[in-house]
Structure formats: structure tokens, C-alpha cells
């Protein structure tokens, strides 16, 4: 498949730091529109720090990046919400609002990102819940759902605004193997619809069962290992 448009993620000689300690240096890679990429590496190797840099939670110490058309570092903090509307960010811990129903959690995001029309918000919520296989849970509270169901709600929340890329930090880390596999298949389903995915994972079985391009954080570098075939 050939891509003629700008990559959705592009890094040039990027240096990532947490506080005063260097984490990654001389980071150079592109992610094209619609690509699926795994991000692997040991705990502490820089996976989360790299993702935080891409969604503008950490400033690049040196070098440049562009994510969804936004150059990093951003010129102003006021641009962070605009960048994040183009991204879907998914964490290992679900970060759902525990005092609101699933529908209310999703509606909160739509209202915060400028959706004024109630009927359009309702239709979009129904659409994303159907996509993640949770059409009937809209009126439930998060604590009434299993871990796998909660992560599906988080994914639904992440795709509400049709992001160009999903950035997922160990999204299956707290789930049992069978549920984790179902969540990964959901990521690939979303990817096939045209959304790029960069997913940090410790699960090397995924790489064998669902081959895709691999970026490895190791010894302060990001190494492009291409596609790992089983």
C-alpha cells in the first residue's frame, strides 16, 4: 500500500526526558496513516515517556515531531486540546468517571470537544458503543462492567471524534489473556477502518499471532524492527 499524504506521526532526532534524566535520544520514525504499530521494550525503557511526548504531556527536550499535523513542541499550551481531538489516548487504567453512566462518560467528552447538538451526540454514542460490541450497556455504571467491558468503553471514548491515530499504553495489561486478545482484535478492527494505531505492549504473543510493524525501545533508542512474522 502506498501512502502519499504526510505521516500521522513523524519524529526527527527527538530526545525524550523525564525530569532531568534522559530516557530516549535520536528518535527517528514515521507512522503512516492507517498503519498499525506495536511499541515494545522492557519496563522503564521509555515507551510511556514516548507516548506522553506524542500527546504533548511531555515536551521534547531536543529535536522535533509532528503528530496529526501538529508540530511538537507545541507553540502554546492552548493547542493541546486541539491536538488531542485528533488523537485517541487509551491507558491501562480505565480512567472512567465512576459517578456517571457509560453514556454520560461518553457524552461528557463530546460536550467538552464542541458537540452542541444533543441528537447528534446521542447518535454518535450509540454508534461507537455498537462498534465496540457494547450496545446495551449505555445506562450502566462503570463498576457494573467487567474489566474487558470497561476497556471497550475506554476505546469507544477514544474513537468518538474519529481520531487519526490511537495511542494505547498497555491497554490489555490488566486483562486476562482471552479478554486481552478480544481487545486487540477490536484495535485491528478500528485500524482496518483507517485509524492508525501505536500500541505499547508487553505481550509478545500478540506479535506472533497478529503480526504488525514493531518499534522497540532499548538502550535509550527506538529501533524499527519491521514486521515480526511467526
Question: Which tens digits make up the pLDDT trace of 104-133?
Answer: 999 999 998 889 999 999 999 999 999 999
Over residues 64-93, mean pLDDT? 91
* Confidence class for position 230, pLDDT limits 50, 70, 90: low
Q: What local confidence, expressed as pLDDT, does residue 92 receive?
A: 77
User: Would the pLDDT of 48 be above 90?
Assistant: yes
Q: How far is CA 76 from the centre of its chain?
A: 22
CA distance 97 to 85: 19
Say which residue the cell 474487558 belongs to.
148
Region 199-221 average pLDDT: 94
pLDDT of residue 4 exceeding 60, the answer is: no
Domains of the chain (ranges, CATH numbers): 34-52+82-227 (3.40.50.300)
The total number of residues shown for the chain amounts to: 230
Give which of 214, 209, 216, 202 is closest to 172, Cα–Cα: 202
When the pLDDT of each residue in the chain is averaged and rounded to a whole number, the result is 92
- What confidence tens digit (pLDDT) does each residue in 87-102 have? 999 987 888 999 999 9
Which 3 state secondary structure label does DSSP give 191?
helix
pLDDT, tens digit, 9 for 90 and up, residues 142-183: 999 999 999 999 999 999 999 999 999 999 988 899 999 999
- The reply to whether the predicted model has a pTM over 0.75 is yes
pLDDT of 2 reads 40
- Indicate if the pLDDT at residue 214 is higher than 60: yes
Angle at which helices 118-131 and 102-112 cross, to 10°: 120
Amino acid at each position: 500500500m502506498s501512502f502519499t499524504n504526510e505521516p500521522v506521526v513523524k519524529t526527527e532526532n527527538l530526545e525524550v526526558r523525564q525530569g532531568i534524566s534522559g530516557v530516549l535520544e535520536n528518535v527517528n520514525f514515521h507512522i503512516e496513516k492507517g498503519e498499525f504499530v506495536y511499541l515494545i521494550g522492557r519496563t522503564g525503557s521509555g515507551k510511556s515517556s514516548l507516548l506522553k511526548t506524542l500527546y504533548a504531556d511531555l515536551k521534547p527536550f531536543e529535536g522535533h515531531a509532528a503528530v496529526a499535523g501538529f508540530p511538537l513542541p507545541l507553540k502554546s499550551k492552548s493547542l493541546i486540546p486541539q491536538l488531542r481531538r485528533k488523537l485517541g489516548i487509551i491507558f491501562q487504567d480505565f480512567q472512567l468517571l465512576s459517578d456517571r453512566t457509560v453514556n454520560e462518560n461518553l457524552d461528557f467528552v463530546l460536550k467538552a470537544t464542541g458537540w452542541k447538538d444533543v441528537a447528534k451526540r446521542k447518535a454518535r454514542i450509540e454508534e461507537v458503543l455498537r462498534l465496540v460490541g457494547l450496545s446495551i450497556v449505555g445506562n450502566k455504571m462503570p463498576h457494573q462492567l467487567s474489566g474487558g467491558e470497561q476497556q471497550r468503553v475506554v476505546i469507544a471514548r477514544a474513537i468518538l471524534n474519529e481520531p487519526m491515530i490511537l495511542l494505547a499504553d498497555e491497554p490489555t495489561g490488566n486483562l486476562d489473556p482471552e479478554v486481552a486478545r478480544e481487545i486487540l482484535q477490536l484495535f485491528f478492527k478500528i485500524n482496518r477502518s483507517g485509524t492508525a494505531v501505536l500500541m505499547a505492549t508487553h505481550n509478545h504473543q500478540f506479535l506472533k499471532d497478529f503480526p504488525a510493524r514493531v518499534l522497540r525501545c532499548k538502550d535509550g533508542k527506538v529501533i524499527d524492527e519491521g514486521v515480526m512474522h511467526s
